[in-house]
Amino acid sequence: MALAQTTEKAESRAVELSIDGKTRIFDIDNPELPEWIDDEAFASDDYPYKKKLDEEEYLETLEALQVELVKVQLWQQKTGKRMMALFEGRDAAGKGGAIQATLSNLNPRWARIVALTKPTETERGQWYFQRYVATMPTAGEFVLFDRSWYNRAGVEPVMGFCTPEQYKQFLKQAPRFEKMIVHEDIQFFKFWINVGREMQLKRFHDRRHDPLKIWKLSPMDIAALNKWDDYTAKRNEMLKATHTDHAPWTVVRGNDKRRARLNLIRHILTALDYDGKDKGAIGEVDDKIVGSGPGFLK
């Protein structure tokens, strides 16, 4: 009832979008999804498949991969190996779901999520990377970052939350910072989950009209609706400047969350040499879904 009252009082948030040379009107408060979004969402950004992976196949494969992840955790506890994975992407790309699929059957005492809020006044006065260092893994631990220090390469410069000088300095410092992580013998993964524009709009609309998901839709999401090209430019600059031999970017096409999650987990498992590894259960990473660095995206 509170949601309905809020909807009645809210002003229209219809925006005019320019997409592929066409002017489109998108009103996120209208419960009816525009036909052009519904028609174009799955294929947006040249997605290579026509439909979602079958749910039964997805769940069966996911369970097999999660068994392998449990083996990885036991191996970590035995060897003390530390692991980190950061998940980046536009809003509604599927970062949170991919993290949950990875962690859902692991012991939470040894696998945790880091999702930092905006910095405090004290943190704003510190070295930019300082608050992230405090969250890094101890022996035997797997830490997954739901967004990371790469806020300074995307949302901050696009929305004006940092200066141009801070942005440029970040692009220079990040590869050096990550070299220290790798030299510390921490297994380090960086994932960019990519989503097409129409698919992002569809997911925003789904969140707006699902009372269980509406908390995921933030004022920042609405403010960014007309900044797609700005975010694309910053994404490309980020990938170019921070894709290195010691800390490469793994790009995952995310229009189908099922394929994205399975292949992201496969990528992690393929990179590790753990006890009892079952290559048959892991399978092959789909090179239509997963690629390396800026060259994988148009």
Q: What is the CATH number of the domain that holds 172?
A: 3.40.50.300
Residue ranges making up the domain that contains 61: 2-292
Rounded-to-10 torsion of CA 267, 237, 115, 122:
150
Q: What is the domain count for the chain?
A: 1
In this structure, is residue 220 part of a structural domain?
yes
Unique residue bearing structure tokens 């569809």 = 202
In this structure, is residue 44 part of a structural domain?
yes
In this structure, is residue 297 part of a structural domain?
no
What whole-number distance in Å separates Cα of residue 136 and Cα of residue 125?
20
In this structure, is residue 137 part of a structural domain?
yes
Tokens matching residue 45 = 């950004």
What whole-number distance in Å separates Cα of residue 88 and Cα of residue 71?
26
- Per-residue tens of pLDDT for the chain, all 298 residues: 334 434 444 456 889 898 888 899 999 999 999 999 999 999 999 999 999 999 999 999 999 999 999 999 999 999 999 999 999 999 999 999 999 999 999 999 999 999 999 999 999 999 999 999 999 999 999 999 999 999 999 999 999 999 999 999 999 999 999 999 999 999 999 999 999 999 999 999 999 999 999 999 998 898 889 999 999 999 999 999 999 999 999 999 999 999 999 999 999 999 999 999 999 999 999 999 999 999 998 7
What whole-number distance in Å separates Cα of residue 124 and Cα of residue 209?
36
In this structure, is residue 298 part of a structural domain?
no
Contact 44, 196 (CB under 8 A): yes
pTM: 0.94
In this structure, is residue 255 part of a structural domain?
yes
In this structure, is residue 165 part of a structural domain?
yes
145 Cβ contact list (under 8 Å, min separation 6): 84, 85, 86, 87, 113, 114, 115, 132, 135
131, HSE (Cβ side, Cα atoms, 13 Å): 17
Residue 229, SS3 per DSSP? helix
